[in-house]
Amino acid sequence: KALTIGLIPADGIGREVIPAARQVLEALPCDIMPSRLSFVDLDAGFEYFQKHGVALPEKTLEALKDSCDGALFGAVSSPSHKVAGYSSPIVGLRKKMDLYANVRPVISGAAATASGEKRAIDMLIIRENTECLYIKEEEQHEGPNGKYATAKRRISEFASRRAGEMAFSMALQRENMRQQVPLAERTWKARPKVTIVHKSNVLSVTDGLWRETVRSVYTGNSEYSSKIDIEEQLVDSMVYRMFREPEAFDVVVAPNMYGDIISDGAAALVGSLGLVPSANVGDNFVVGEPVHGSAPDIAGKNIANPIAAIRSAAMLLERTGYGSAALAIYRAVDKALESGQIKTPDLGGKATTTKVTEAVCKLL
Ligand code: NAI
Ligand code: MG
């Protein structure tokens, strides 16, 4: 069996961190990664748009659909002003490949915690990626007291169910992977737990449907209900608890906008943007993507932190059925961070992208 990965570095430091991630994937020893890996280089991005008039070429989409099992996306330099004919390729990719959940792990490593104190944060946030307020059905009106505006919020059973399904199946998948870590090194709670975020005390119809649907996924599956604990958290107290006791959370599942806010907030708990990975996940495809942007201020200098991209590559492996290989990468990264020697400037060090990548490869 072979695993084919599409590589879409796109713009800026995407062109530095995606090759770094590839290098780490290629360094996996074959007893850990039993399948042959092959890579397909693909175009997209703002620079590509400036040359060719399209940001996400059909050729790239076709290659992904026809010959790839998953992909890695770097970052795109989307302009802040409107540019005629341009739309963000990563947003397009999520739509066209039906990547309906955005998955973001938030993990503290020794070097990652800004305060230096070691708290074992190991959360996985699952954000529904297709509806909620982000359907962008906004309207402006004229009323007796002047202008006002309204926005529609859509919550469906269909989208809530698949987000819930993703959360519970990932909770189990995480647990299986964790079982491979020696007992003495485990920092997490004994049983997997899913926290359902909502605000159905106020929005009883929309968030009510979300809550009920996600709960029904749990109660309707005996494996989930026997192996996983669930809890509910109103979104406002979720933020409060997350800052007070982030180590209390395991998998967190939230509607689109709550998930957006919680996941950026959670990233602040563990330090630099250069460390935080994500994956855009659908039933048939996964695109790993570092959370950061194209970082034009440091692009081309070989100082971008490649760890977010490397961890995103591990997420891709985890999702395509190579949990042991993913775990090996996570642990190599942790070790590299813990050594404290090999840090890029965003973490206060002097190491280059190349040096950090080589260190991780060596630890594999
Ligand atoms: P940014 O994430 O590119 O950079 C913010 C700050 O973090 C910069 O100082 C940068 O040097 C630093 N940084 C980011 N990643 C780093 C890494 N791996 N290692 C070391 N330092 C890192 O966000 P910014 O500056 O707001 O946006 C720049 C461009 O990126 C914009 O065109 C924006 O549209 C795009 N962007 C794209 C995203 C994507 O592709 N999904 C997400 C966010 C922004
Ligand atoms: Mg966001």
Same-domain check for residues 264 and 358: no
Q: Are residues 74 and 144 in the same domain?
A: no
How many domains, the chain?
2
What are the distances in angstroms from CA 57 to CA 13, 51, 93, 117? 20, 12, 10, 46
Q: Are residues 5 and 84 in the same domain?
A: yes
CATH of the domain at 155: 3.40.718.10
SS3 label, residue 150: strand
295 C-beta closer than 6 A to ligand 1:
yes
Residues 234 and 146 in one domain: yes
**Residue of the nearest CA to atom 4 in ligand 1?**
295
Q: Which amino acid makes up residue 38? A: S
Tens-digit pLDDT string for the chain (364 aa): 799 999 999 999 999 999 999 999 999 999 999 999 999 999 999 999 999 999 999 999 999 999 999 999 999 998 888 899 998 899 889 889 999 999 999 887 644 444 444 557 889 999 999 999 988 899 999 999 999 999 999 999 999 999 999 999 999 988 887 787 776 666 655 689 999 999 999 999 999 999 999 999 999 999 999 999 999 999 999 999 999 999 899 999 999 999 989 988 888 888 778 998 999 999 989 999 999 999 999 999 999 999 999 999 999 999 999 988 999 999 999 899 888 778 999 988 999 999 999 999 999 9
Tokens standing for residue 242: 């997350």
- Angstrom distance (rounded) from CA 89 to CA 294: 13
Helix%, strand%, coil% for the chain, nearest 5: 45, 20, 35
Same domain, 92 and 150: no
**What are the tokens at 275?**
């460390």
Answer whether residue 115 is part of any domain. no
Nearest CA to ligand 1 atom 26: 293
Assigned domain for 96 exists: yes
Q: Which of 217, 237, 269 is a domain's end point?
A: 269
Determine the residue of 294, 302, 357 to mutate for testing ligand 1's pocket, defined as the one with the most ligand atoms within 8 A of the Cβ atom.
Answer: 294
Q: 130 and 202: one domain?
A: yes
86 touches 123 (CB < 8 A): no
Shared domain check, 282 and 232:
no
Contacts of 76 (CB under 8 A, 6+ apart): 10, 11, 14, 44, 45, 46, 55, 88, 89, 90, 293, 294
240, two tokens? 């409060």
- The answer to whether residues 253 and 152 belong to one domain is yes
Q: Is residue 143 part of a domain?
A: yes
Q: Which of 269, 293, 316 finishes a domain?
A: 269
Cβ atoms of residues 199 and 234 within 8 Å: yes
Residues 54 and 97 in one domain: yes
251: amino acid identity, one letter: V
Q: Phi then psi for 251, rounded to 5 degrees?
A: -95, 135
Q: Are residues 246 and 149 in the same domain?
A: yes
Range of the domain at 198: 122-269
Testing ligand 1's pocket by substitution, the residue of 273, 301, 350 carrying the most ligand atoms inside 8 A of its CB is 273
Detail the DSSP E strand segments found in 179-218.
193-198
Q: Which pTM value belongs to this model?
A: 0.88
**Residue nearest ligand 1's atom 12 by CA:** 295
CA-angle at 264, arms to 261 and 265, nearest 5°: 80
Q: Which of 240, 269, 298 is the last residue of a domain?
A: 269
ipTM of the complex: 0.96
75 φ, ψ (degrees, to nearest 5): -160, 155
Residues 344 and 362 in one domain: yes
